Structure 1
Amino acid sequence: MNKTVGIGIALVIIVAVVAALLFLSTQPQQTPTPTRTSPTQPPATTSTPTPSATTTQTTTTVAPTYKWQLIGMYIAAEDKVVKGQPPVQQPPPDYLTPVIVDVKPTEAPTVVEIGVLQPLSGRLASLGQLAAAAATLAEQDVNAYLTKINATFRIRVVTADTAADPTKALDQMKALHSRGVKFYIVRTSGEVRTMKPYADENKLIVISVSSTAPALAIPGDYVFRLPPDDTKQVKAISKILQDAGVKAVVVIWRNDDWGNGLVKGLEAVAQSRGFEVIRAATYDPQKGEFSTEVSVLAQKVREAIAKYGADKVAVAAFGFAELQTIFITAAKYEELKQVKWYGADGSTGLSELLVPDAAQFAVQVGGFVSPKFAPARSPYYDRVRDYILKNYNREPDSYAYNAYDAVWLIAYSILQAGTADSQKIHDTLPTVAAKYFGASGYTKLNEAGDRESADYEIWAIVKS
C-alpha cells in the first residue's frame, strides 16, 4: 500500500468516528427515577428549591427597634434618685408664663429678629431640629399674644445651621449681625466659647439652650444659659453610679469644654461617693473613627475588672452623636460588654444612638443610663411636646423646651424694658427670668447668668 492510499484510509476512519460521536450527543438522555424518601426527608436535588413557609417567615422577620425611655429622676434638693415621672407643677399666680391666645397675629411697625443658631445637620441635627421647631412655635405664640395686647413690635425667628461647628456658628452670628440681629438662641458649650468674645464686644444677647460647661459660668457677660451648669449634673451622675455600687469609673470623653468639665467635676465628687475615676481616653470630636481610643478604654477596663470585678466597674462615655461609632467599635471587645455604661446630657435622647448596631450594644451594657436637665411638667410643657410629637413624630429632648422659653424671655424683656436695645435687655432679662415659669419650668438665673437649679431626668435605651 502506498503512502497516499494509507493517508486517505486514515482520514476516512477519523471522519467516521467524529460523525458517530456527534450522532450520539444529539440523542435524548434518560433521566433516572429519583429514590423515594419519607415525608420528613425531602428528595435530594441539585435544583434551587421553592422557598418554604419557614424560609418566607425568616426573610420577613422584623428587626428589633429601640427607643429612649424615662426611668427615673434625680431630685437635687434631696440628693436622691427615684423611679417614675415628675409631678405636674403650677407656677405661683404672680409669675409670668407663656400666654396662649386664639388670635391671628397681625403686622406691627417694628420686627425684632432672633437668630436661632442650631445644628440642623451633622452630629446633633436630631436635637437641633427640635430646638428650632420649638422656637418657631414660640414665635407663633408670642406674636399672637403681642397682637392681643396691641404691642408695637413682633418677633421673627431666623434659623441658621451651625452643624455644631463653633467656627460655623460664629460665621452665622456675624452674618446675621451684619443685618442687625442682636438676639441669638444657640446650643453647645463649644459654640458658646467661640461666639462669646464677639457677642460681648458687640453687646449681642446670647441664650444657650444646652451649654453646661462650668468654665463658661462667667458673671457679667452677654451669655445666658437656661440649663444649670455641670457642677449640678455631676451630682446626678455620681449619685446614679453610687447607687449602682460602682467602685471604679473608666472615662472616655470629648476633648472640649463640656467633656473636660464633666470629667473634672466627676473627679471632684468621686471620693465622697465611694468610687475612683480612671481616665482612659479623650478624643477629638471631629474624628470619624475612634479605634485607638476604644482600645485604650478596653485595656483600662480590663485592669479595673481585675482589681474590683466586672460588677463594680463602669464606663462613663461623655460625648455626642459620635458615640454611635464608639459603641459599634466597643462591641468588638468582650470586656467592654461586661460592664455597665453611663452617659451625660450631651447624648441623652439622640436618635443617632438608636440605630440597631449601636442600640443593641447600649442595651447589652445596661441601657446607657444617662441624666438630662428636667423640664417641669405643666400645660406649657405639654404644648411644646404635643406640637413636636404631631409635626415630627419624635419625643422632644429637654433643651427644646428651653428654646421655646428663650423666645418668650426675649419678648417679655423687651416689653418690660420698653426697648429692644440689647444693652438694656442684658440688664432686664435676669429680672424677667426670676419671675418666669415656662415650658421648661422656673428659669431663675444665678450670678453667672445660668439657671440656678434643677432636677434631672434619667433615661435609658430599651427595646421598643
Structure 2
Amino acid sequence: MGPHHHGDVMSYIVPMKALIILLLTAAGGSLGGVAYYYQARASSLNNQVSNLNNNASSLSDQIAALKAEIANLTNQISRLQTINSQLNQSSLQIQSLETQLANATSQLQSLETQLANEISKVQSLESSFSTQLSALSAQLALDQTEITQLQTQISQLQIQLQQKGSLCLSGQTVTIGELLDLSSALATQGVRAKDGSALAIADINSFLSSAGCNLKFAASVSDYSLDSSRALSELQAFAAAGVQVVVGPLNSGAIQSILSFANANHIVLISPSSTSVALTIPNDYLFRTAPNDRWQGQADAAMLKAEGATKVVILQRHDSYGDNLANATAVDFGGIVDYAGCISSDSVCVIRYDASATAFANVIQQLSVEFQALNATSPNRVGIDAVSFEEFGAIVSEISQSSSTSIRALLTGKLPGTGGGPTSVWTGTDGEAQDTFLSDNVTSGPIISSIRLPSTIYGFLNNTKTERLYLTFASTYPGATCDFYCTGAYDDVWLAALATLQVGSYNGTRIQAAMLTVADNYYGVTGWTQLEPSGDRVASIYEIWKVITPSGGVPTWVFAGYWDASSNGLVAFNPY
C-alpha cells in the first residue's frame, strides 16, 4: 500500500474514536438506570421462582395427599372386594338356603297332606268303630239272651248225658274221621287244622268227664294230599271202619268227587274251608262252617274297586274252588267277562291253570298279554286277582326271574289306591291268606311283601273261647299260629261231637238230620255257627290280610281291614 492510502485510513479512524468516546460519555450518565432495571427484573424473576417453588411445594403436597387418598381408596377397594366376595358367598348360601327352604316347604306340604289323609282315615275309623260299637252293643244284648238259652240247653244236655243207658255212660270211644291235606298245596293249613282238632278232642273229653260221662271221642287223621281219588279211597276206608262223621276235606274239588259216596253211605262231612257255590245243595250230607264263594266274590270285587280297578284279570287254579270263586268275583265286579282270551273291551278276563301244575311259564305269558290288552285302554286301572293255593309262591317267583321286561313289570304295576297313594295291582283270596309257607319262603316272601297281596278270608270277632284256644295252641305248638283252618276245624269237631250227643248215637243219618239245629245253637271259637238251609255258614265278615316286612324283620302277614257282609262295604281297609 502506498503513502496515499495510509493517510486515508487514519483520517477515518480518528473520527470513529471520537464518536465512541462521545457515546460512552453519554451512556455513563444512565448506567445507574440500567442497573436498576436489571435488579428489578432479577427480583421479579426471583419472586416468580419463589412462587414456582411454592407452587411446586403445594403441588407436591397435593400429590402426596392424592397418593394418600389413592392408597386409602385402594384399601377401601380391597375391603370392598373382600366384602363383595363375602356377599357372593352369602348369596350362594342364601340361594342354597332358599333351595333347602323350598324343599322343606314341599316336604311340609307333603307331610300336611299325609297328616290330613291320616286324620281323615282316623275320623273314618272313629266313625266306623262308633257304628261297630253300637252294633256290637246291640249284638251283646242278643248274645246275653242267647247265652241264657244256651245255659239252659247245657243243663238239659247234662241231665240227658247222665240218664241211665245213655251214650254218655256207654264207655265207648267214638272216632271222628279227618280228611286233611298234610303234604300238598294246603299242607300248612292242613297241619294247623289237625292240631286245632286235637285240642278240640281234648276239650270235649274234659267236658264229658266233668259231666260224669265215660264216653270219649278220638280223631283218625288221613292225608289225602289234595288228590280227589285218594280222598275217595280214604273215605271208603273210614266207612269200612264205621266212621259216621268226617271233618274235611279242605278243598271243594275233593268234596265234589266224594260227596255222592258220602250221601249214599250216610257219612256226614263237615268242612272248615270248602266254599264252592257248586256245592250249595240242601239236604245233602255236606256242612260247611265257612260261607260259600258268593260272599267272598262280593268281598274280592269290593276290594279291587276300592283300590281303583276298573278292569281285572283273574288268575285261577282250574278246580271247583277256583272256577266258582273266580266266577263269583267276576259277576260281582261287573261288565263283560271273557273266559277265552282277552280284548281291550272286556271288563274281566279269566285265566285258568291246571291245579296240579308246578311250572307256569305259559300261564305267566298269557297273563302278561291279557294284562297289557286291558291296560292299553285303561292304564293303571287293571287289577290282578289270584285265586290260588301255595303254588302262588312259584308263580310270582317265576315272574320275578323272567327275562322279559313286560312280564317282570307285572310285579310293579300300580292301581290308584284308596287315598294314600298308588297300590299294587295284586289281590288274593283265602287260598293264600295267612299262609306262612308263602311269606316265610326266602324267594316268594320278599316278592309278596313288595306287592302286599291283600287277601280275603272268612273272619269272625274273637271271644273268650277264641283267646283261650290261641293261648293253649301257642303253648302246645310253640312257633305255630292257630289260623282260620285251625279255629274252623276246632269248631267242626265240637259240632260233630255235640250232634252225636244230641241224637244219642253215632249214626250218620240221625246226625245229618240234627246238624242244622245243633249248629244254630253252638257258640264256638268262631262265634255263632248258624248255617243256611244248604248247610253253608251264614256270612258276617271277611277279614283282609296282607304281607309286610317290618324294619329289621321278615315278611309277615298282618291284618288289613275287613269286608262287612251286612253293608257290602270295606272297613279300615289298608292295602299299603
Task: Identify whether the pair has TM-score above 0.5, normalized to the shorter chain.
Answer: yes
Secondary structure of the 1:113 match is: strand
Q: CA deviation at 1:107?
A: 9.6
1:125 equivalent among 187, 198, 214? 187
Residues 338, 307 of structure 1: CA spacing in aligned structure 2 closer, same or farther, 3 A cutoff? Answer: farther
Residues 189, 215 of structure 1: CA spacing in aligned structure 2 closer, same or farther, 3 A cutoff? Answer: same
Which residue does 2:236 correspond to in 1?
A: 174
Amino acid at match of 1:218: I
Q: Distance in 2 between matches of 1:387 and 1:107?
A: 29
Secondary structure of the 1:307 match is: coil
Question: What is the CA RMSD across the aligned residues, in angstroms?
Answer: 2.9
2:221 equivalent among 159, 163, 167? 159
Matched, 1:338 2:399: no
Secondary structure of the 2:376 match is: helix
Secondary structure of the 2:496 match is: helix
Matched, 1:197 2:260: yes
Which residue does 1:42 correspond to in 2?
A: none
Matched, 1:281 2:346: no
1:134 equivalent among 192, 196, 220? 196
Residues 108, 143 of structure 1: CA spacing in aligned structure 2 closer, same or farther, 3 A cutoff? Answer: farther
Matched, 1:299 2:362: no
Secondary structure of the 1:262 match is: helix
Is the 8 Å Cα contact of residues 252 and 318 (structure 1) preserved in structure 2? yes
Secondary structure of the 1:122 match is: coil
Q: Distance in 2 between matches of 1:109 and 1:133?
A: 25
Matched, 1:388 2:473: yes
Residues 398, 96 of structure 1: CA spacing in aligned structure 2 closer, same or farther, 3 A cutoff? Answer: farther
TM-score, length of structure 2 as denominator length: 0.62
Is the 8 Å Cα contact of residues 380 and 438 (structure 1) preserved in structure 2? yes
Amino acid at match of 1:292: N
TM-score, length of structure 1 as denominator length: 0.76
Task: Give unmatched runs, 5+ long, in structure 2.
Answer: 1-120, 122-127, 155-167, 337-344, 414-424, 555-576
Which residue does 2:310 correspond to in 1?
A: 247
Which residue does 2:455 correspond to in 1?
A: 370
Q: Distance in 2 between matches of 1:277 and 1:388?
A: 44
Once the two structures are superposed, the pairs formed by residues 429-444 of structure 1 within 5 Å of their partners are 429-444=515-530
Amino acid at match of 1:336: L
Larger Cα Rg: Structure 1 or Structure 2? 2
Q: CA deviation at 1:313?
A: 1.4
Q: Distance in 1 between matches of 2:335 and 2:384?
A: 19
Bigger share in helix? 2
Q: CA deviation at 1:280?
A: 4.7
Q: Distance in 2 between matches of 1:320 and 1:426?
A: 30
Amino acid at match of 2:506: A
Deviations 1:254-300, CA, capped at 9 Å, x for gaps: 10111111121122112289x96432521111111011001100111
Secondary structure of the 1:452 match is: coil
Q: CA deviation at 1:95?
A: 5.4
Is the 8 Å Cα contact of residues 162 and 172 (structure 1) preserved in structure 2? yes
Matched, 1:379 2:469: no
Q: Distance in 1 between matches of 2:368 and 2:389?
A: 20
Deviations 1:386-423, CA, capped at 9 Å, x for gaps: 23333141222212111111111122112221222111
Is the 8 Å Cα contact of residues 280 and 297 (structure 1) preserved in structure 2? no
Which residue does 1:426 correspond to in 2?
A: 512
Which has the higher mean CA deviation after the structures are superposed, 370-379 or 300-309? Answer: 300-309
Once the two structures are superposed, the pairs formed by residues 391-406 of structure 1 within 5 Å of their partners are 391-406=477-492
Q: Distance in 2 between matches of 1:428 and 1:280?
A: 40
Once the two structures are superposed, the pairs formed by residues 21-100 of structure 1 within 5 Å of their partners are 91=143, 92-94=146-148, 96=150
Amino acid at match of 2:458: F
Residues 117, 361 of structure 1: CA spacing in aligned structure 2 closer, same or farther, 3 A cutoff? Answer: same
Which residue does 1:145 correspond to in 2?
A: 207
Matched, 1:350 2:435: yes
Q: Distance in 1 between matches of 2:391 and 2:324?
A: 18
Task: Give unmatched runs, 5+ long, in structure 1.
Answer: 1-71, 73-78, 100-105
Residues 202, 357 of structure 1: CA spacing in aligned structure 2 closer, same or farther, 3 A cutoff? Answer: same
Matched, 1:316 2:401: no
- Corresponding residue pairs, total: 377
Q: CA deviation at 1:375?
A: 2.8
Query: Taking CA–CA contacts closer than 8 Å with sequence separation of 6 or more, which of the two structures ends up with the larger relative contact order?
Result: 1
Is the 8 Å Cα contact of residues 207 and 406 (structure 1) preserved in structure 2? yes
Which residue does 1:267 correspond to in 2?
A: 330
Is the 8 Å Cα contact of residues 530 and 538 (structure 2) preserved in structure 1? yes
Deviations 1:200-257, CA, capped at 9 Å, x for gaps: 0000010001000000000010000000001001111111111111111111101011
